[in-house]
Each structure stands twice: as C-alpha cells, then as structure tokens.
Amino acid sequence: MQHGQSHLVLQRLLARIRDVMAGGGEAEERLNQIVSIIAEDMMSDVCSIYVRRAGDVLELFATRGLSPAAVHSTRLRLGEGLVGEIAAKARPLALTDPRSHPSFVFRRETGEEIYESFMGVPIVSGGRILGVLAVQDTRRRRYTDEEIEALQTVAMVLAELIGHGRLVARDELFATEEIALRPTRMEGIALSVGIGMGVAVVHEPRYTVRKLVAEDTRVEHERLREAVADMHGALDNLLSASDIAVGGEHRDVLETYRLIAEDVGWLRRIGDAINNGLTAEAAVQKVDNDMRARMGQVSDPYLRERVHDLEDLANRLLQHLIGADEPAPETTVKGEVILVARSMGPAQLLDYDRTRLRGVVLEEGSPNAHVAIVARALDIPVIGQAREAVSRMENGDPVIVDADHGQVFVRPGEDVRQAFAESLIARDEQKAVYSALRDLPAVTLDGTHIGVSINAGLLVDLMHLSESGADGVGLYRTEVPFMVRSEFPDVDSQVRLYQRILGYADGKPVIFRTLDVGGDKVLPYWDHAGEENPAMGWRAMRVSLDRPAMLRQQLRALIRASSDRDLKVMFPMIARIDEFEFGRHLLEKEIERESGRGTPPPRSVSVGAMLEVPALVFQLDALLERVDFLSVGTNDLFQFMFASDRASLRVSERYDSISPVVLSVLRTVVNQCDAAGVPLSVCGEMAGRPLDAMALIGIGVRNISMPPSSVGPVKTMIRSLQLASLEKYMETLYDHRRSNLRHKMKSYAQDHGVMI
C-alpha cells in the first residue's frame, strides 16, 4: 500500500473509531465494535485487545477472529508470550512467523495456531502500559512501518477509553498504597545538597485531552504553530527572571532547554502524528507517550534525565493548546513548600514561588538531571530516587528534606524538627570549607599531588570546571548529544560542539571518550534490536568495529576541533588488543586525511583505552606498549568482575568496591602502568566517594575523575591525608579474608583525622 493510500485509510479508520467512542452503550460493547473496524480497515483476519489487570496480568477483553470463548479467560503475565513481551518492553512487535519467536506461547482456547503473521503495539497512557492491541493474519504478511505507525495511533485513541476507568477501575490500573498518617522516613540520593523544611505540594501536571481525532489536519497544524510560538514567548519571560538571568552552569542548562523546545525532530514527530489524523494535543500526547515508554527501558540515568525535559515541554505545549490556566499548586497551602514529584524538567521548577520553595523530592532523578543543576544554582536541596514519594505524601504534609544524608522525613515529630536546626548550622560550615578549597591544589599532607578531574557529558557540565577548581575533564561522554537528536549529527555539527567544549575548558585537558552507544543507549534514528544482556552486547567499540564510518566521522570532527590544541581520545569497552589497534589506526588515517586537506593539526595527540572488561587485565603488558594512557571505568569493570548487574537493586550493592579482590586487581594495574610509564586514571563512581577515593590513592592511583559534585568532598579528604601512613596500612589489607574492608577504612580515617 502506498504512503498516501495508507494515510487515507488511517484517517477513515480513526473517523470510524471516533464515531463509536462518541456513541452510547457500554464500554466493552464499543470495544467489540472497534476490533471489528480495525480488522476490516487493516485487512487483517484478527484484531484483539488485551487490558492490563491488577497483578500485572494481561486479559483478553475483545477480539475479532479469535475464539469468543477466549475473551476474559485468556490471561498472560507481563513478559509472557508475544503480547506479554510487548507490554513488558513497551515496544511494537511485527513478525511473519510468530511461532518461531522465542517468546511465543500457545493458548489452545484462542484458536490462533492457524495464523502466520502477527503485529502488536502497546497501549500507553502517561508512560504506563494499559494493554496491548494486536492484529494477526493467516497469510505470511510483512507489516510495513506505516502499518505499525497506524496501529500505534489507534492504540493512542484506545488508551483514552481504557485509561478513564470505563473498562477497569482506575484504582486497579494505577494502584497506589494507602497513605498512612504516621511519621515516615524515606531514603533517596542527594541531587542537590542541603536541608529544607516545609509542607508538601505534590506536583502532578495532568491535562485531559478530550478530542483525539482531527476533523481538519490543516487547522490542527495551525493550532500547533500558534501554541509553539506562545510557549516560546512564555519560556523567554520565565528565563529572564533576575535570580536566574546571571551567567553560570544553570543558565547554560536553561538555554539548552530553550533549544530543545525548538528541536526540529521533536516537532516533526508531532506534525507527523497530526498528519495521521490526530488533533494537535493528541499528537503531543502520543509523541510524549511513545518517548517515555521507549526510554523507560534505558538504564543509563544520564540519558533518562534528558527525557524529563521533553516531558516538561510536552506538558507546557498541552497547556497552551488546551488553554489550561490553573493556579500554582502551592497557593493551596500556606508557608514554606517542599515540592514532591515523579520527575521534573528545569522550567517546571521555576514555575513555583522560589521565595517559598525549600526543597524537592523526586521519585526519579540523578545528579545530572537538569532540574538538579538549576536547583543547585538556586541553593534548593533535592532528593532523588525516593520510591513511591508521590503516593506516600499528600498536599499539606509537614516534610523535612535532608539531602546531606539522602533522607526525607514525612510528618516528623517535634524532636526531629529540633535536631535539624543543628544540622543546618553544620551544613553552612561545611559549605564554607569547600568554597575555600576551590583554588587550592589537591595535595596530601606529605606533598603528593593528586589529579582531580570531572566527568561530563553536556556543555553545561563544563561550567563545573571553574566552580570546583578541578584540573580538567577526565571523561567526556560524547554519546549524549547523539542521543538527544532526531538524526545523526554531521561532521560540521560535531566540530562546533567539540570546539565549544574545548573553549569552555579554557586550556585544561579534556579526554574525549568515543561513542559508547548500543546496548541500552539506543539512538532514536537506529533500527536497533533489543538484547538479553545489553551491557555485554553490541555496544561501544563493538559498534564502531561494525560501523567504522561513524567512528571516522567523529574522529575527523575531533581532529578539526583540536587544531593547535591538545587532543586526547579514549576508546571504550576494549576487550582485545586488536580492537584498540583498529581505533588508533582509524585516528591516524583521519589525521593523515585532514593534513592532506590543509587542516592545521592538533598540537599533540594522546590515545588511550578504557579498562572495563576484565579480560583486558590479562593483556595489559601488550596493551601498555600501544597506549598513551589508560583509564579504569570501575562501574562496568566491577559489574563484569562480580557478574552483578549494577542496574539491579537486588545485587548492585552486594559486592563492595573496597574489597581485597578489587584492591588487588587495581594494584596490579597500577604497578604495571607505573613500570611501563603509562599514566593511569580512574573515572568510575568509585572515584567520587571520599572513602573509596582514599583507597584508590592508597594503592597508588594518582589521577581520579568524578561527578562535579564530588570534587569538594574528595579534595577535602586529600588535603587531610598523610599518604605514607595510608600506603603502609593498605599493605596489610590485600590478603585480608574479609570480603568488605569498608569498616576498617572508615576506622583508619577516623583515627588519622582524614575528612571523609
């Protein structure tokens, strides 16, 4: 079917569904009519709708083509069968031989054994999977991208029928625990340190899209254009506020946010959804739902945080389209406010009265979240990863945010409130200490200098270089700009980006890690199949080996951006020597190519590798003959060493980074690098924790790279450390039988006055 024909078929299909939904009768009767319409218009033998029930069960609610007796009796667990896999992964599935798929399960009562083709899409609302819409055919049929997109658009309309409690009660679809009125303590991670006290305001921006199917797409495109223009004007006014208008990293964040609002790819996807027959507001909601469902499968917190900016913008755009003008939520409560939310974009924070805002509690979030960066600029404490925070608090509940220690007290007693007055004084004293260290070197008491650098992945992170007094950027993650774009950036775009990075660094060294994509870091413009274990799959250098043109373009851009500057390049996920040699060879070829074009060469070129795969430890002698420097990525190295998925809450904390086996392996690496004269650094999360950093320094590591927020605490530790004494103590630990030495290291620090 041609694209124009499929577009007309979809518009007709949506119009028929709209008429059914607008008519009378029970919701389930209308669902039965809808599956018949979909089957007819898509020329499919079967159309079925599964609805998610309590206990993560998918129940067949309506079908045209399968046995009627299967309705309400066929039930699949989340992840079970093709339908269960679609719901679990929030991704469409189109198969020409469904029975050969490893997830296929046979249910005799449905009579579906005769069907040779299958296509299914998730039914999503607000980022939550409500069910699955599927079609099947007796003939071998290869479903087109247009047909998949059409079914997704229909699923968007069905989400409105299911999500409003007409089939299954909303308290079953969106189940939450009862809120107890007794005092409660919650734990999370500190995204912006500090202490705040106030009453809870639950941030749940929800706009109801009542009209889903467009009558005239031209009118909807014009409505979208006007709403986007209004949104940009409102953002300009918001960002001109005096307390955020001055320069700094937060200002760059907000300018980046403003650019995201103009992202051509995002707006084009909304326009495409309108072309497929949705109203402007339904199109915004569909694109937002698709993105949230897809990115919900990504475990990398750095990348997930970028999604929150787009969610924020989608809500703003819906507000302008619908014409909602609701009062700010904090006007419903009095006094100082603690904001509670699932997630937020940076501009949403600025919607609140900052003279009353004393803290933020998020169910999601990471230190790299844009909202956290802006909150730090405004000196507002933020706790992230506070599970079920929204369901456990109500508007008006007294709350204390202790972001210094990663905890939240809900409805605390008077004794707890009094204790935090003293904590506020201690926090102010600590901030003064870190501020005083900004321009002082990271030197131990006995005169050894430790290189302290930051990890970065966005331009805004570079602002921390001057604020923290770090020596440089020990790890720049180049993949982040690739992931927030709707298409692969060309060489010129990359050159401009890398030039800005080096400009912000202002002469301090920057180590660029080449693209670490693949696995769970999915580029939106790639057709990338899921993997059972993405952390150990087709990612990083393995992708570059198979797609060398992509790596060559990136290296070309880095060479051009580094003209008359020092260029430091690092290849990730190296498992064999020949993989590093491949990358180095491509770099040399690109330098030769650019020289032939007359491009001024870099002042110097250093090429390194990341030690993340344990197999590389056994090849160090050969590797150290070929590299200019080596960097240990402890995050991946430790999860591979212990077979412990760091994204799994059940096992991620089970294997401690301060253990004899870890220290012994790292000491071996240190000794071999020292013998070969190859500079070594550690750039994983371990380096950013003062106690862990002390252990690294004690075994001989002299360069560490960390999140910007860790520079102050780690530098404080270094300047209070007597290195010779620590090294002598560490010699007693390598053969220790205990699996965890953290308690011993803490005791050492306390006994020797080391500030951790």
Angle between helices 548-561 and 491-505 in degrees, nearest 10: 40
What is the chain's Cα-based Rg?
28
3-state secondary structure at position 136: strand
3-state secondary structure at position 557: helix
Any alpha helices (H) in 23-144, and if so which ranges? Answer: 27-41, 81-89
Report d(CA 293, CA 90) in Å as an integer: 5
Report d(CA 546, CA 407) in Å as an integer: 46
Tokens of 734: 């390598």
The active-site residue out of 308, 320, 370, 464 is 370
The amino acid that residue 407 corresponds to is Q
User: Facing residues of 199 across strands?
Assistant: 337, 398
Query: DSSP labels for 295-358?
Result: HTT---HHHHHHHHHHHHHHHHHHHHHHT--PPPGGGGS-SSEEEEES---HHHHHTS-TTTEE
Tokens of 269: 């996807």
The active-site residue out of 203, 308, 320, 683 is 683
Report d(CA 525, CA 487) in Å as an integer: 6
Longest distance between any two alpha carbons in the chain, whole Å = 83
Query: DSSP labels for 441-498?
Result: --B-TTS-B-EEEEEESSGGGGGHHHHHT-S-EEEEETHHHHHSSSS---HHHHHHHH
3-state secondary structure at position 643: coil
DSSP letter, residue 78: T
Report d(CA 671, CA 662) in Å as an integer: 14
3-state secondary structure at position 98: helix
Provide the 10 A C-beta neighbour count for residue 383: 30
Tokens 């254009």 — which residue? 225
Q: Taking a C-beta distance cutoff of 8 angstroms, is the pair 95, 101 a contact?
A: yes
Q: Taking a C-beta distance cutoff of 8 angstroms, is the pair 677, 685 a contact?
A: no
Any alpha helices (H) in 43-169, and if so which ranges? Answer: 81-89, 145-163
For the question of residue 752 being annotated catalytic, the response is no
Any alpha helices (H) in 562-609, and if so which ranges? Answer: 577-596
For the question of residue 47 being annotated catalytic, the response is no
Torsion sign across C-alpha atoms 628, 631, 636, 642: positive
Distance of CA 471 to the CA centre of its chain: 27
3-state secondary structure at position 556: helix
Tell me which residues are annotated as active site: 370, 683
